[in-house]
Amino acid sequence: MISTLYIERDIESHPRAQAIIARFPKSRRISIDRYGDVFNQTAQDFRQQKQQPALILAKKHGRRVLPTPPGYHIGGERNFYFSHMLNCVYDCRYCFLQGMYRSGNYVVFANFDDFFDDIKSTANEKPEEPSWFFSGYDCDSLALNPITEFTDDVLDHFNTLPNAYLELRTKSTQIRSLLKREPVPNAVVAYSLSPESVAAKHEHKAPTLKKRIQALQDLQNAGWSVGLRFDPILFSDNYQSLYTELFEQTFNALDADAIHSVSLGPFRLPKPFYKRMIRLYPDSSLLAQPMQTKTAMVSYPSNIEQDLLGFCETELLKRINKNQYFPCVSISNPVNPVEEHKSTSKLALTPVSALAGTVDNSDARKQEPTLHDLALGQPSREPST
């Protein structure tokens, strides 16, 4: 799977890096000074690298734990995100990562211990208040777990932090390590879900909807707290039947009252990412529908977005309580469109993690606008996957 390992000299003796390196005895190993020297090169082919990505082992410097944008939460007041990895083993055609990074290679920051120190000190700034920490914005939280063993470490850590809560966002069925251990009460495993045909068509390499629901069921049966992220919601002529079927399949398999949180989000994409994605995938059907630019984001025209979200919200609230529900935007208060794309123009879809502006990989892409920059002007209430 991984034929080339780039290893920062700063991290190569770290035990976590050594454990990962040992999993690839036949890989070519190249020592580097900083991961950005490889990851940020301008003349890279994202699509080609995505076919056979290299793994870059690096040390995360600078700010490892960042506040989420105002209003971003699933019930808590203090909300932060962190990214132990950049890029994803899956290849969703709407994913903002392909518009954000020039490289399709994976970066794993092996100094998990430094992330955990920062999480602890952030939580202890206000020990009397719960703090939420979100994982899985620049990657999938579980997909590379057999190699990184990230969840073993992070869950051990959160077991020692009663005032901190963790969300692991994922589409992966790599849950064996979770099922082997006692559930961690202050952790939520949140799955991004799309209708079966949408997943099959656009979520390349990701587990099928059926497998994700099975994983949710297994986790819930084992006592884990789970969350559902219906995000991004995609438009099609038959979206009502597709999303009704999705909700039926999902809620028939789960104990709805025991679900921690459900979020719902339109797809939006920062405009520069949207443009880059069109260049990458000019033939994509997802990138060929009418769209609007709303402030710095591209998304469906407001009337379509409102219809989509309104329908899904109504259907969801037949199945869950309001206190479980966290929409990513206020459905009654849409963003004012400022520019209409012609019907021949392309559109881009994004997991709402992009909308959230929850990513600040400033040392990975110094010339890029951060999602935080792009999204702070957005009236999004609640982003997700």
Which residues contribute to the site for ligand SF4 (CB under 6 A)?
88, 90-92, 95, 97, 140, 171, 206, 351
**Spatial contact of 182 and 218, defined as CB atoms under 8 Å apart:** no
Strand partners of residue 270: 297
> What gap in Å lies between CA 63 and CA 115, rounded to an integer?
9
Separation of alpha carbons 327 and 154, rounded Å? 27
Question: Tokens 């995609």 appear where?
Answer: 234
Q: Which is nearer to ligand SF4, 90 or 300 (CB)?
A: 90
- CA angle, 141 as apex, 110 and 152 as ends, to 5°? 60
The DSSP symbol for 322 reads G
Q: C-beta of 29: minimal distance to ligand SF4 in Å?
A: 26
Minimum distance between the CB of residue 301 and ligand SF4, rounded to whole angstroms?
A: 23
Give the nearest distance from C-beta 274 to ligand SF4 in angstroms. Answer: 15
Residue with tokens 């040390």: 59
If the CB atoms of residues 10 and 360 are measured against ligand SF4, the closer one turns out to be 360
- Residue 275 CB, shortest distance to ligand SF4, in Å, is 18
The distance of closest approach from Cβ of residue 344 to ligand SF4 in the complex, given in angstroms and rounded to an integer, is 26
Q: For residues 7 and 286, which CB has a smaller minimum distance to ligand SF4 in the complex?
A: 286
**Three-state secondary structure call for residue 243:** helix
Which one, 14 or 50, has the nearer CB to ligand SF4? 50
Task: Name the DSSP class of 335.
Answer: P
Least separation in angstroms between CB 46 and ligand SF4? 12
* Closest separation in Å from C-beta 252 to ligand SF4: 24
- Please say which residue, 140 or 315, places its beta carbon nearer to ligand SF4: 140
Which is closer to ligand SF4, CB of 206 or CB of 228?
Answer: 206
Closest CA to 16 of 44, 45, 73, 57: 57
Nearer to ligand SF4, 10 or 138 (CB): 138
H-assigned helices in the chain: 15-22, 36-39, 46-51, 97-100, 112-123, 145-148, 150-159, 176-179, 196-202, 209-221, 239-253, 271-280, 302-317, 352-356, 371-375
